[in-house]
Amino acid sequence: MRPSHWNPTVYGPAGQYVGCPDAWWDDVGLAWEIDSFEFHFSRFDYARTLQRNTNYAAAGLTVVQTLPSRLIHEPGGVLAELGAAYRAAAARPRPTVRVEAAAA
């Protein structure tokens, strides 16, 4: 189970911007966000994170949020969460979104 894209831009059915997840599984519409305290500390950044999550939910996407420290200290737990989220996303129809791969 490998992501199909890293840092793609996701657009909703009407072409509206949804978000730019760190990783994306296109076959099931699963987004992975690695959210660090350092980048989401200010009031503005926190509000932007909440809006991003609302955009994902409104588009019907499954999202996993992970702290960077968990990748170091609990990699097995992160993989288990991603696997469970992938299976949950696969159990429903894929949302009508499109992605554009990040520029190389």
Q: What is the DSSP string of 56-76?
A: HHHTT-EEEEE-HHHHHH-HH
When divided into structural domains, the chain yields a total of 1
Q: Taking the model in full, what pTM does it have?
A: 0.88
- List CB contacts of 9: < 8 A, sequence separation 6 or more: 17, 19, 20, 99, 100, 102
pLDDT of residue 6: 95
Share of the chain above pLDDT 70, in %: 91
pLDDT of residue 96: 96
Question: Taking the mean position of all CA atoms in its chain, how far away is CA 1?
Answer: 15
Q: Does 15 have pLDDT greater than 80?
A: yes
Torsion region of 98: left, alpha or beta (phi above 0 gives left; psi -120 to 50 gives alpha): beta
Average pLDDT, the chain: 91
Mean per-residue pLDDT for 25-52?
82
What residues make up the domain containing 87?
5-100
Mean per-residue pLDDT for 92-103?
92
- Gap between the Cα atoms of 40 and 87, Å rounded: 28
